Homo-oligomer: A and B are copies of this chain.
Amino acid sequence: MNNVDIPWRRAVVSVDQFSRSDIDEIFALAARLSVGRTMPLTGKSIVNLFYEPSTRTSSSFYAAMTKLGGSVIPINEVNYSSVTKGESLEDTIRTLECYADALVLRHYDEDATERAVSVASVPIINAGNGAGEHPTQALLDLYTISKERGHIDGLTVTLMGDLKHGRTVHSLVKLLRMYDVKVQFVSPPELSLPRPYLVKEDTEYTDLEAVIDDTDILYVTRVQKERLSDSVAIDFSYAVTQSDMDRAKDEMVLMHPLPRVGEIPSELDSDPRAAYFRQMKYGLHVRMALLVSMIGRD
């Protein structure tokens, strides 16, 4: 079964599973839950099964679940735990699903989510599968755009940084294709977006200056120095500066999936356009909406 054919309420595997109306529904629920006091998942529980550490993502799901009244069984660094002593991923999944209403899975293997879904009888949420996808991150990024600007269609979105390796960027680009959005890319040539993700209308740049003026959303990701040859590393610096912000639109939204390591100096944090911490909060709401959609009583 192709990922896209799995109903997302049964397993969130890839952004390819979502239609615009699915997204509208999730975002509307996220907004309602963000102001609500109801605890619709009281008595429900999930397992956070993290084969790779990711405190940020696991904490976000943990908080989402407990805010809804549910509980979380946290299993971190599962490689060192007795669960996996010689045990197949499939057996681990079938064991842990006895204890919970859904499993949130972060794994270093790209095929892990698919293997989990093939044996699981409870919903699975892909919280990152190796070089594969991180669909809840892409959804929260899109939700941030929607909340900060009130709409998505008609915007000019600039993605800057390491566009080659980031699964988050790839997933977000796929989602943006569903909207009437102009997409621009800024990266060192060595770290440009893989060709399969590009469409004819896209424009690519090596410098933020060329596009900062007309950008509505500036989405910045890390450029990991070790991925650049020395000569390139010297010529480009993919950090946003105060001068960039001075030139940018008043209503521009500056985003980053965090953690950052210099791409956005903390001096810019007080700029009202800096949305990266609000982005964390929006992520909580999107994950709450997914959990309620997948395991809520209705």
Contact indicator B80/A260 (Cβ below 8 Å): no
Residue of B nearest to A77 (CB): B80
CA distance A37 to B87 in the complex (A): 33
- Contact yes or no, B277 A99, CB < 8 A: no
Decide if A15 is an interface residue (CB 8 Å cutoff).
Answer: no
Inter-subunit contact B98/A75 (CB<8 Å)? no
Residue A56 lies at the interface, judged by CB distance under 8 Å to chain B: yes
- Are B91 and A67 closer than 8 Å at their CB atoms? no
In this assembly, does A125 line the interface, its C-beta being within 8 Å of a C-beta of chain B?
no
CA distance A9 to B59 in the complex (A): 25
A284 proximity list for chain B (CB < 8 A): 98-99
CB under 8 Å from chain B, chain A span 21-62: 37, 39, 43, 45, 47, 53-56, 59-60, 62
The proximity string for A residues 138-167 relative to B, scoring 1 for CB distances below 8 Å and 0 otherwise, is 000000000000000000000000000000
The reply on A239 being an interface residue by CB < 8 A is no
CA distance A236 to B13 in the complex (A): 43
Interface: A74 (CB within 8 A): yes
